[in-house]
Structure 1
């Protein structure tokens, strides 16, 4: 039932600082894994390796009303391949026991109140 697997994803994150760009990358991992393993329950996600494929720093000048108070702004974009160990339960292999209960009309009405 409990299965271990090595899995890799390529994700892109961006933000106004390097920390926000990396945070964006790691916050995308859990929803993407949950979507890919929708038939199973993922218990543990353990990053093993992070390979940076592209890291871009964009610098631009921002001005108030187009000509006043110029300031330099930076924007970071990172593409990384993240390899991780997954621990998950295969729901298809969990033996469920079937129970059927027949309820009379009176019991059903009384139970709803």
Structure 2
């Protein structure tokens, strides 16, 4: 019923600080794994290795009315490749027993009026 898999995902995160960029990237791991296995129940996602592919800082100058109050803005972007170990339960392999409760006496009583 339970299966252990190894998977690798690539994710990109952006933010105003380095921490926000990494957090934005890591928050996408579960979404990507669930999208890859839509008919399975993900029991555990365990990172095994994290590789930073790119990490960039973008700076730009911002002004008010073209010349007043100039300031430098920063935006960070990080691209990560994460090796994961997954514990997955396939829902389609679960056998459900069907029980018919449509012949309930209460249903008949209210149906008669």
TM-score range (shorter-chain normalised) is 0.7 to 0.9
**Which residue does the alignment assign to 1:5?**
5
Query: TM-score, normalised to structure 1's length?
Result: 0.86
For structure 2, the 5+ residue unaligned runs are: none
Tell me, what secondary structure is at the counterpart of 1:69? strand
Q: 1:40 to 1:108 in 2, by over 3 A?
A: farther
Counterpart-to-counterpart distance in 2, 1:108 and 1:25: 56
Query: TM-score, normalised to structure 2's length?
Result: 0.86
Q: CA RMSD in A?
A: 2.0
Counterpart-to-counterpart distance in 2, 1:38 and 1:102: 32
For structure 1, the 5+ residue unaligned runs are: none
Deviations 1:3-42 (A, max 9, x none): 1111111111111111111011111111111111111100
Moved over 2 A (4+): 98-106, 108-111
